[in-house]
Structure 1
Amino acid sequence: MTAVALAVTAVAALVHVYVFVLESFRWTGPRAARVFGLDAATARTTAPLAFNQGFYNLFLAVEVVAGALALAAGHRTAGAVLVLAGTLSMTGAGLVLVASDRSKARAALVQAGPALLGAVLLAIAL
């Protein structure tokens, strides 16, 4: 069960790494415009904010990966704490996204769904 939980949390981490790349390095490009519904002027204006936000997503992914590595190395408590802190933070961010703009429900589900599922599976496995 732990392996399944970590596989699901890896998906959550990959989603956040992808969003990091979009927000921090591709914000003014066509892919980010499609994903985030941006026009060129808004993208240029908000690029510094998106750059910073992208790194938050990266740090959450790093936290989950570090926890998974710690679990794999036999550090059960430290690993679980890192994975759960990262995935539950991802879940919280998804909830804030949908609470702030209901039209972002799909994006919030992509952001929070795998993270919450992975956290629940890990809690059951422990």
Structure 2
Amino acid sequence: MLLVVQIFAALAGLVHVYIWVMETLRFGDPKIHKGVFKTETADVPAVRPWAANQGWYNLFLAVGALLGTALVRAEPAVGWTLIVTACGSMVLAALVLVATDRSMLASAAKQGLLPLLALVSALGQTL
């Protein structure tokens, strides 16, 4: 079952790396700011700093999940702490997103499902 946790946590981390790319490196692309984040092109200069800041948060969560996945077998206490903290934060952020804007349900599911599955799978493990 630990392998399942590792797979879900790693996939959650990779999704959050992709979110970082969209929020920091590709935010100026209309397919991203308009299509994904529903931001008008005229508003991009004002919104870009916020999006980049959020992107870095997502990258740091990704690093936690990926590092935890890599360390959980060799250093269980460190690995579990990183997995639970990173994935728990991802799930909570997804809940906040949908709680503040119900139209963001699909986005919240994309960012929250894999870390939720990692946490649920972890319940069968000795933490």
Alignment correspondent of 1:117: 117
The amino acid across from 1:108 in the alignment is: A
For 1:57, the equivalent position in structure 2 comes to: 58
Shift of 1:84: 0.4
Q: Name 1:98's counterpart in structure 2.
A: 98
Superposed CA deviations along residues 15-68 of structure 1, whole A, max 9, x for unmatched, are: 110010000111110331211122211222200111111000000000111111
The answer as to whether partners of 1:12 and 1:114 remain within 8 angstroms in 2 is: yes
Q: TM-score, normalised by structure 2?
A: 0.93
- Give the 3-state SS of the residue equivalent to 1:78 in structure 2: helix
The residue type equivalent to 1:67 in the other structure is G
Given that 1:10 and 1:65 are in contact with CA atoms closer than 8 Å, whether structure 2 keeps it comes out as: yes
1:25-64 map, 5 Å: 25-32=25-32, 33-64=34-65
Point out 4+ residue stretches in structure 1 off by more than 4 angstroms: none
Structure with the largest fraction of helix: 1
Map of 1:3 onto structure 2: 3
Could you tell me how far apart the structure 1 residues matched to 2:115 and 2:122 are?
10
Unaligned runs of 5+ in 1: none
In the other structure, the counterpart of 1:70 is: 71
Which sections of structure 2, spanning at least 5 residues, go unmatched? none
What secondary structure does 1:38 align onto?
coil
RMSD of the TM alignment (CA)?
Answer: 1.1
Normalised to the residue count of structure 1, the TM-score between the two structures is: 0.94
SS state of the match for residue 125, structure 1?
coil
